Structure 1
Amino acid sequence: MNPRPLLGPDPPVENPDVGEHVAVAAPWLLQVALTQSFVHSVQTDLLLSDQQLQFERRSFTSYQRAVDGLLKTFPSISKVAEVSLVDRRRTCAVVGNSVNLKGSRYGHLIDAHDVVLRMNYAPTKGYEEDVGTKTSHRLMYPESALDLNDSTHLVLLPFKILDLEWLQQAFTTGFNGTSYKPVRATIRANKSLVMVVNPGFIAYVNRAWLGMRRGYPSTGFLAVILALHMCDEVHVFGYGADRNGNWSHYWGKVGENPNFKTGLHHGKHEYHMLRTMAVHQQLKFFRGCFQKA
């Protein structure tokens, strides 16, 4: 059983390798709208399966309690975030964190897009010439969270129930739980712009786009597929290793940590999929500068 979005048809399960364009009707980007019409499909397909995203073993009651807490904290955003199908002629820039952005001078080009998605704690200050300054949506999870200005959407990627609990508590009492690394107790962001990606979307991307049953997609790859559901034109910047195979960030030194890899993510496979989508004109891929170590 495939998880359904809150409203709309079942998600498309096309094969990106044959160049099929992604359907846009499924509203995966939920404005904290994880209500009962979505609950049972998550229960049977994701949260209680043997292939959970971050291997969290908790009862479904915990999930329901976390959802209830979100809806109480964000009562004005209990509807699906509207991704207008009438006014969809807009461009998305998805800005990755790769070292290949160094020296690219993509900043002005990135800022010219209608929507600019960035991931985790990637900085813009000091790197404006290469990465731009505009951020309309910031995708994050508790372990990668940072404060936002009043015009940026906080987009939570919930890999586990704890992530939903964190969001609610970070805006109210303060979070005092623990995770696999330190987590901020509070966060500053515009409460009316908080969004949550449907948990089923993460599983859908892992299975339908990457063909994987274990592990989970990177924040960067999720951002690209989400952008394909949001905009008519998607332009991708700052992805992939450098020419020597180093996976580095643009705000670090090139090759400073040769042991840095992509963790549980399938970095090389994701990169191949992005290039394949570019060949089939599903998106435009900007390679940047392949730095030498």
Structure 2
Amino acid sequence: MVTMRRALKVLTLLTLVIFFTSFFLSYSHTMMTTTWLPRQMVAELLESLRRLLTLSPRPCACARCIRQKHASPWFDKRFDGSMQPLLTAQNALLEEDTYSWWLRLQREKEPSNLNDTIKELFRVVPGDVDPLLARSPMGCRRCAVVGNSGNLRESWYGPQIDSHDFVLRMNKAPTVGFEADVGSKTTHHLMYPESFRELEENVNMVLVPFKTLDLEWVVSATTTGTISHTYIPVPSKIKVKKDQILIYHPAFIKYVFDRWLQGHGRYPSTGILSVIFSLHVCDEVDLYGFGADSKGNWHHYWENNPSAGAFRKTGVHDGDFEFNLTTTLASVHKLRIFTGR
């Protein structure tokens, strides 16, 4: 439909060019010289046609397309469409500076060899997943990223959230008992071993690896079950189907940290990693459950301690900077934020 409308615009403009060219050239041969030369008119029309033909095509069929260029210089400076958010067998080789940075995130004393670990990993989980999750340029993939803020309580966002094509959740976020406010649909759940929770059938688990041991844990948890402790106890076995396990790319974590967070915090939170992930795999993004509630409290929607806020200032993530980043993305119309209550 978008391509057809564009073709009609071009055809209409070409028709006008031909008509006005013929008219003014004929007029110039039969009448006295005028102050507006036909040649100037033709040049103006041709320039308009050139501008129309060189406009960037819309990258999706949505009313708002995240990847539309030249809409925001601030966004264009940060967004790199070539970055692949998911680790595959084809893009698993890390550059030295990326690998060194990633190894320092949780300071493993004796990390295993990464190449050997990745080879073992892709013997267990898919290693050929499309990094852009097969997004069609002619489609419109609407995504909801559901955070864990207490502002979701009594928001009644559930049906609205479930209407999206993709629904991304993170860490230990439950849905049972909270469906009216947070919805029941989940397509992708981002987590790491220490924040793992069992998922419903047909939900894709997106592992966010902050250390080599996290990758080893995936292999162990789906096979032998030998790893039951990282820096805290973790599940030794999980029920997630192997072909529904996706791996967040370590290089993409660094991209989020460098380009989007500009070095704030020690490394990105799962929340902001989910947001930037969605910008790369979705055409429209709506955020729910981010930030404080209406009273200024920071807490999880399933908790009964609304004065809690420890996860806001952990010394690891810069919660204020991350939240300001989401509001800036909203101000340049790259996503929408639903603030709840």
Pair in the same fold by TM > 0.5? yes
| TM bracket (short chain) | 0.7 to 0.9
Distance 1:88 1:207, change over 3 A: farther
CA deviations on 1:248-275 (whole Å, 9 max, x unpaired) are: 0000124253555342111111000100
1:133 has 2:184 as partner: yes
Query: Which of 283, 290, 295 lines up with 1:232 in the alignment?
Result: 283
Aligned residue among 206, 209, 215 for 2:260: 209
Among candidates 264, 270, 274, match of residue 223 of structure 1: 274
Q: Is the 8 A contact 1:104 1:130 kept in 2?
A: yes
Which of 323, 330, 333 is 1:271 aligned to?
Answer: 323
TM-score under structure 2 length normalisation: 0.72
> Structure 1, residues 48-102: CA drift from partner, whole Å, max 9, x if none?
349722222445x62122111101112x533444432435411000000000101
By how many angstroms is 1:17 displaced? 8.0
1:188 to 239, 247, 259: 239
**2:39 is matched with which residue?**
none
Distance 1:260 1:25 in 2: 32
Instruction: Give the conservation status (yes or no) of the 8 Å contact 1:99–1:242.
Output: yes
CA displacement 1:7-37 (0-9 Å, x = unmatched): xxxxxxx9x882438454433223xx245x5
Query: Which residue does 1:77 correspond to in 2?
Result: 127
**Alignment-derived partner of residue 124 in structure 1:** 175
SS at match of 1:165: helix
Give 1:8's aligned residue: none
Shift of 1:241: 2.0
1:95-133 CA distance string (max 9 Å, x none): 000001011110000000000000011000110010000
- Contact 2:205/2:245 (CA < 8 Å) preserved in 1? yes
Q: Which amino acid aligns with 2:190?
A: L
Equivalent position SS for 1:288: coil
Equivalent residue number for residue 90 of structure 1: 141
Give the count of matched residue pairs: 268
Question: Larger radius of gyration, structure 1 or 2?
Answer: 2
Q: Which amino acid aligns with 2:299?
A: S
Q: Which residue of 1 aligns with 2:74?
A: 18
The residue matched to 1:168 in structure 2 has which SS? helix
Aligned to 1:154: 205
| Cα distance change on mapping 1:17 and 1:224 into 2, 3 Å | farther
2:83 aligned with 1:29: no
How far is 1:190 from its partner?
2.1
Deviation at 1:224, TM superposition (A): 0.6
Bigger proportion of residues as helix: 2
CA RMSD of aligned residues (A): 2.4
Q: Structure 1, residues 124-182: CA drift from partner, whole Å, max 9, x if none?
A: 01100100000000001000111122311010001110100001110000042532222
Asked whether 1:174 is paired with 2:225, we answer yes
Corresponding residue for 1:11? none
Asked if 1:165 corresponds to 2:221, the answer is no
State the distance in 2 between where 1:23 and 1:50 align: 19
- The amino acid of 1:39's aligned partner reads L
2:334 aligns with: 282
Amino acid at match of 1:240: G
Match in the other structure for 2:298: 247
Give a deviation string over 1:185-215, Cα, whole Å, max 9, x none.
0111122121001101111101110101651
Q: Secondary structure at the match of 2:279?
A: helix
Which structure has the higher relative contact order (CA within 8 Å, separation 6+)?
1
Q: Tell me if structure 2 keeps the 8 A contact 1:247–1:262.
A: no
Aligned position for 2:10: none
Q: Is the 8 A contact 1:99 1:254 kept in 2?
A: no
TM-score (norm 1): 0.83
| Aligned counterparts of 2:129 and 2:202: Cα–Cα separation in 1 | 20
Q: Which moved more, 1:154-163 or 1:207-216?
A: 207-216
**Are the counterparts in 2 of residues 148 and 190 from structure 1 also a CA contact under 8 Å?**
no
